[in-house]
Structures are given as structure tokens and as C-alpha cells.
């Protein structure tokens, strides 16, 4: 770790960004957080840049020699009502990212770390995704992240600014949004779930494991101009995940064993096939390249990561 390294963090008010901001603030880094609004409560150093798009002016936030950690973006939108969802994702995730990267390079930024998504590789698999796989994004979010990655490589080629791309699968942690948050709410309410006999394999990444990986990439020489897949290094079935969540919460796991094929059929009839695929299908990530290249090991096991989600329910 370099002393007093200048960091520009975007997305500092989000689920991942908040934890990153805490970690940077507790270190020797000199942190600047780019935020959208003046009334955002965020310490210690914040700069208002407005909405992330192609026209955002980053001049007040950028400094020579900085490492930019770009965690801001348009994430999965439940019940997206946009006429053209891909275009809406592109405005933020592609155009906004490209504008920031170009301005950062012009201002002499040293390195640009981009938080992408395993969705660039795909949504389901029979074999673990590897860093060498041909990208196969299938939804607007994944496609926008892939397009952003390609734009960043072009900036790197033209300017010499180092680029690091990290593709995480589902990120879980305290007060996590999205699919993990939904699972937690179901377990907390004691709702019986027909997921007691699911034999898929899903890779996840604990929030603190992802933060540790990002911090490792700040100044690791081997990280420059590479793509890294993130993960805990342990794969769970949906059944095992729900059992682990329940145990970490100190709650019973009310799981009813129903065949996955029957559940998929019912979800398809109800127009919920995509949701069922996330619960019933497999998505494994091979992080061996990340571990070997960076000499990195996830600090937390899945059990420890789940325990950190519910600090008031410890054994």
C-alpha cells in the first residue's frame, strides 16, 4: 500500500461504495468521494459532480496521479418501464464511464478500477466462468457493462492510463439490496419456501471480500490492464444459501423440498422464468486467475460473510 495515495471514489453512497468509503477512510489513502447532490451525508471529503452521464464535469474531483475507483452506475432495475432499457443503461454505464475515464486520463490519473459484473460472462452456466471466456452478456445491464469495458480498453490504449476491471457475481452483506435482500426478508418473515431440494451451484462474493480485492488492485503492479473475476471461492446451492442465512440470523429455515423442474415449469407459466433461473440455475465463477495473479485469498469464508450480515445474531 502506498502512503497517502490519492483515491477518487464514485458511487460512494451505494451498497458497495459506502463500505469502500469506510475502508479508504480507515487507511492511509487520501479520499475524494464524488456525489450527485449537495445534501448527501458523506464524510470526509466529497465533491458534487451531479448525475453520471456523458456530460458530467469531473474537473473538481480529478487530480494528477489519482487512482479512480468507479463503483457508480445504473444497476438492475426491478420492473423497468423504460421504452429502451439498454439505451438507459448505456447513458450511465457506458457514456458516463467513458466520459469519466477520458477526463481522468487527461488529468493524469494513474489507474482506473471499474466495477463491472459477472453478467458480462453470462447469466447461467454448466462450467465455471473463467477470465478467458468469450463474453456473452444476455440482459441490458450485462451488455452495458461489456460495452463500458471495451470503451475503457480503448482509452487505455490511447492514453496509457492503467485499467483494472473487476467482475463480481451477487454481492451480499449487511442490508444488501436486490436478490439477496429478498431472500433475507423471506427468511426473516418465516415464509415457507419451496426451495428445500435445489442442487444448483452459485458463486457469491461477500461485501468485505470484494472490498479487499478492490483495495488490493489499487497499487498491485500485476493488476494493471487486467480483468479479474471476484468470488468467495466457495459455491452454494440455493438450499444451502437459505440454510446459511437462516442460521446466521438465528432463525429456522422453513424449506419445503419440491423438484426444481416442477418449480421452473410453474414459474414459466406465471411469467417468472428469469427469476426462477436465478434461484434454480447454476452460476459458478473460477477465481483462480485472480488468486494467482494477485497472490490474493478471500479474507472471509461464506459462513463468516453471512455472520457479518447479521451481527446481532451470533452463536
Work out the average pLDDT over 42-46: 60
Does residue 138 carry a pLDDT above 50?
A: yes
What are 219-252's pLDDT values in tens digits?
A: 999 999 999 999 999 999 999 999 999 999 999 9
pLDDT band with cut points at 50, 70 and 90 for residue 79: low
Closest C-alpha to 55, from 114, 103, 22: 103
Residues 6+ apart with CB under 8 A from 94: 144, 147, 148, 151
Spatial strand order in the sheet of 235-236:
170-172, 202-206, 235-236
Does residue 7 carry a pLDDT above 80?
A: yes
Q: Cβ distance 50 to 95 under 8 Å?
A: no
* Vertex 233: Cα angle to 149 and 115 (nearest 5): 20
Work out the average pLDDT over 26-50: 75
Domain 176-203+234-315 sits in CATH 3.90.25: yes
d(CA 311, CA 304): 10
Please give the pLDDT value at position 107: 95
Residues 6+ apart with CB under 8 A from 113: 67, 68, 69, 70, 164, 165, 166, 214, 217, 218
Residue ranges per structural domain of the chain: 6-167, 176-203+234-315
Q: Which pTM does this prediction carry?
A: 0.93
Q: At what angle do helices 207-219 and 15-25 cross, to 10 degrees?
A: 60
Please give the pLDDT value at position 314: 54
Q: Please tell me what DSSP assigns to residue 90.
A: I
* Vertex 175: Cα angle to 215 and 237 (nearest 5): 85
Percent of the chain with pLDDT over 90: 70
- Cis check: omega of the bond before 44, within 30 degrees of 0: yes
Q: Cβ distance 138 to 121 under 8 Å?
A: no
Among 24, 89, 129, 141, the active-site one is 141
Please give the pLDDT value at position 1: 45
Q: Is residue 29 annotated as a catalytic residue, yes or no?
A: no
- 185 vs 98, 152, 179, CA distance in Å? 37, 37, 10
Domain 6-167 sits in CATH 3.40.50.11740: no
What are 127-136's pLDDT values in tens digits?
A: 999 999 999 9
Q: Cβ distance 236 to 195 under 8 Å?
A: no
Please give the pLDDT value at position 255: 94
Amino acid at each position: 500500500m502506498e502512503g497517502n495515495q490519492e483515491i477518487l471514489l464514485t458511487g460512494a453512497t451505494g451498497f458497495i461504495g459506502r463500505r469502500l468509503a469506510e475502508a479508504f477512510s480507515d487507511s492511509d489513502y487520501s479520499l475524494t468521494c464524488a456525489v450527485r447532490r449537495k445534501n448527501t451525508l458523506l464524510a470526509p471529503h466529497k465533491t458534487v459532480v451531479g448525475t453520471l452521464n456523458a456530460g458530467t464535469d469531473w474537473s473538481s474531483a480529478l487530480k494528477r496521479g489519482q487512482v479512480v475507483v468507479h463503483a457508480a452506475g445504473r444497476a438492475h432495475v426491478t420492473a423497468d418501464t423504460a421504452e429502451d432499457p439498454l439505451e438507459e443503461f448505456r447513458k450511465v454505464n457506458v457514456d458516463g464511464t467513458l466520459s469519466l475515464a477520458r477526463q481522468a486520463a487527461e488529468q493524469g490519473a494513474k489507474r482506473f478500477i471499474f466495477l463491472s459484473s459477472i453478467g458480462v460472462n453470462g447469466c447461467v452456466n454448466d462450467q465455471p466462468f473463467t477470465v478467458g471466456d468469450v463474453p456473452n452478456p444476455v440482459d441490458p445491464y450485462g451488455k452495458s457493462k461489456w460495452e463500458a469495458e471495451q470503451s475503457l480498453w480503448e482509452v487505455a490504449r490511447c492514453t496509457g492510463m492503467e485499467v483494472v476491471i473487476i467482475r463480481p457475481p451477487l454481492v451480499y452483506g449487511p442490508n444488501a439490496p436486490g436478490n439477496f435482500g429478498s431472500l433475507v426478508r423471506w427468511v426473516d418473515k418465516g415464509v415457507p419456501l419451496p426451495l428445500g431440494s435445489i442442487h444448483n451451484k452459485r458463486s457469491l462474493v461477500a461485501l468485505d471480500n470484494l472490498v479487499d480485492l478492490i483495495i488490493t488492485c489499487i497499487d498491485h503492479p500485476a493488476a494493471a490492464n487486467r480483468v479479474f473475476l471476484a468470488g468467495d471461492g466457495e459455491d452454494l446451492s440455493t438450499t444451502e444459501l437459505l440454510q446459511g442465512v437462516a442460521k446466521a440470523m438465528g432463525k429456522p429455515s422453513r424449506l419445503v423440498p419440491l423438484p426444481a423442474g416442477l418449480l421452473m415449469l410453474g414459474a414459466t407459466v406465471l411469467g417468472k422464468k428469469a427469476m426462477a433461473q436465478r434461484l434454480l440455475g447454476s452460476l459458478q465463477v473460477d477465481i483462480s486467475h485472480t488468486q494467482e495473479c494477485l497472490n490474493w485469498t478471500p479474507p472471509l469464508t461464506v459462513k463468516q460473510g453471512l455472520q457479518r450480515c447479521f451481527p446481532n445474531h451470533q452463536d
